[in-house]
Amino acid sequence: MAQAVIWIERFVNAAGAIARGLIFVLMGVIGYEAIARYFFGAPTTWAYDLSSWILVFYVFLGGGYALLQGGFVRVDILFQTLPARTRFWLDATIGTLLLLCFTGSLIWYGGELALRSLSLGEVSSSGGWRGPVWPAKFAVPFGAFLVLLAWAAHLARQLMSPEEGRDHG
Amino acid sequence: MVDPIIASATLFGGMFLALIAGVPIAIALGGLSVILVLVFWGANGMSMLALRAFGTTSSFEYVAIPLFIFMAGMLERSGLAERLFTTVNYLVRRIRGGLAVGVILICTLFAAMAGISGAATVAMGMLALPAMLSRGYSKDIALGSLAAGGSLGILIPPSVTMIVYGLISNTSVGKLYAGGVLPGLVLAVMFIIYVLLRCRFQPGLAPTAEDIEAADPPTISEVLWALLPALFLMFAVLGSILFGLTSVSESAAIGAIGSILVAGLLGHVSFKVLNEVSHMTLKTTCLIFWIIIGASAFSTLYTALGASGLIRDIVLGWELNRYVILALMMLILLILGMFIETVGIIMITVPVFLPIAKSLGFDPVWFGILFIINMEIGFITPPFGYNLFYLKGVAPKGVTMLDIYKSVVPFVGVMILGIVLFTLVPQIVLLLPNALF
């Protein structure tokens, strides 16, 4: 199991590493648009959509990563004072139930929306550059899947060594 | 039609239980809204969460959030704080409590460049805290001025919290920005007056010039190197937004690029720094957005079930003075701020509070600014206050969490006084938005 957890974490962190780089792409795209518009009077047709879609990838590729890094804050006034075992069981029951509903809905219905977008050949409605929408739509179910994986890894780590899991999630 | 009373009770009861059980806020809100959609609307409504998730994250206005967070992280590590500190340090050397005044001044400057409250607290905490404590400042004054000064970051534009509030409440972010300027400056002045008065009547709390070795005056070039980059960034971010030259997201990108340039100019850019900042940016951005995603279906459901209308009617039915209701709402925000993350509070309370405030005839921009000041207080009120954690993270050994908790109490009092002042004189908030838009 330990090996599986390590592989899951590597996978989630790899997606996170891609997301981390996207912030610089975002600056580049908007910076380019600003220069093109203000200095050359030639705005791009694609910068507006592209930067919005980069945000989708940024948030969804980064979700699992953030969860592993303790970026999903809790109201921990009571939680913090509980013994590690109890915290594990709360996470494993009520936390997992809610997480499954949340990510399950995003994966199932988000996937459906993405497949429909792909099969319809949906393109951007603004700017007239007709960029495909489906890649960003697939980021939603994929990102939810990453969060699900990260949560599983978080639970497994707590199970293996309760104290180590303290800073997760 | 579902009974709105049962719906509200299930909604808030479930949320309360899940949050108390320590479920991460985003997951609690997201999971609950899926369950409630299923219960109240059946499978037909189920694609709403995914739709809203894509709709929210793909809106151009939200692009500003990661960019402003990146900019703040870069500023924190840019070396700008050191330079400003040297200059201000010299200016305030003769005043009892001068360093604390200097800290508040620099935090105010930082607030006009950074959109989150952590940047100033961390950068100044690392620098000013050891300096103040070693010169005999009491922990109370030193810690309190850092925590409170840093929290101005979300009130003085740019502000990530205002972007979220503006988009959720359909209030113009530009107007909110303009509305935050004067209250931010007024609060900074009130903090300074408080520090000076306290040090005057309790001279043991802070030393004066006689107790400190003479500092060399900074050279002209040192002053310029500190102020010019700061002014450049402020203009890049605020000038463009307030005078309507660019959209908020564009100026955020310009600010983010500018912050890399400034840090590079001051010799503080390296692969390590960019790596750290990109990590912090992703983590903080995801924290905010996953709460928004989880809560977006929640607030839609909530409004659609008629629960927000119901609560509004109940509250208006009490026929209380409108300022009493306002005070009640502020009190609830204050209490929530002690326990829950800012974005979570916005998502949960705005659909309930805003219709009430509007029915009572309060200006939405003005109400928004009071709301933001409450969130600012939330950043420094224990047990859950980000600035307190940041401060603990950079504080030297010997500073306990309890020291930090105690130090913020009087500053919270000053901020509440500020809210009262802005309620009595709403022009302080509304002067700029009305003049600019």
Q: What is the pLDDT of residues B380-428, one digit of tens each?
A: 998 888 899 889 888 888 888 899 999 999 999 999 999 999 999 999 9
Residue B68 scores a pLDDT above 50 = yes
Only one residue has tokens 């320590």, namely: B22
Candidates A59, A65, A88, A146: best to mutate against B (most CBs of B within 10 A) is: A59
d(CA B310, CA A160): 48
Residue B212: is its pLDDT beyond 60? no
Virtual torsion, Cα B209, B212, B216, B219, nearest 10 deg: -70
pLDDT at A164 over 60: no
Q: Which two tokens stand for residue B138?
A: 């009491």
Averaged pLDDT of chain B: 89
Nearest to A74 among B24, B70, B246 (CB): B24
Question: Which chain B residues are within 8 Å of A71, Cβ to Cβ?
Answer: 283-284, 286-287
Question: Nearest CA to CA, how far is B412 from chain A (Å)?
Answer: 20
Tokens of B174: 């530009």
Chain A residue whose CA is closest to B55: A56
**For A80, which residue in chain B has the nearest alpha carbon?**
B22
Better-predicted residue by pLDDT, B187 or A130: B187
Max mean pLDDT among A125-139, B59-73, B226-240 falls in B59-73
Q: Encode pLDDT of B93-138 as tens digits.
A: 788 888 899 999 999 999 999 888 888 899 899 888 988 888 889 9
Q: Of A104, A159, A149, whose CA–CA distance to A9 is shortest? A: A149
- List the single range of A103-112, B138-147, B229-238 with lowest mean pLDDT: B229-238
**Residue percentage of chain A with pLDDT more than 70:** 95
B156, B422 contact by CB (below 8 A): no
Contact A56 B58 (CB under 8 A): yes
- Tens of pLDDT, residue by residue over B332-387, are 999 999 988 899 899 989 988 999 999 999 999 999 999 999 999 999 998 888 89
Considering chain B, what percentage of its residues have pLDDT values greater than 70? 97
**Which site among A75, A108, A140 would you substitute to test the B interface, given the most B Cβ atoms closer than 10 Å to its Cβ?**
A75
Q: Return d(Cα A93, Cα B437) in angstroms, integer.
A: 51
Lowest-confidence pick of B8-22, B143-157, B272-286: B8-22
Return d(Cα A7, Cα A14) in angstroms, integer: 10
Mean pLDDT, residues B34-48 taken together: 84
Q: Say what the pLDDT of residue B135 is.
A: 84
B32, B47, B48, B54, best to mutate vs chain A, most A CBs in 10 Å: B54
Question: In this predicted structure, what is the pLDDT of residue B43?
Answer: 80
pTM, two decimals, is: 0.91
* Contact call for residues A61 and A143 (beta carbons, < 8 A): yes
Q: How far is B340 from chain A (nearest CA, A)?
A: 6
B215 or B399: which carries more pLDDT confidence?
Answer: B399
Phi, psi of B297 (to 5 degrees): -70, -35
pLDDT, position A168:
44
Cβ neighbour number for residue B427 with a 10 Å cutoff: 12
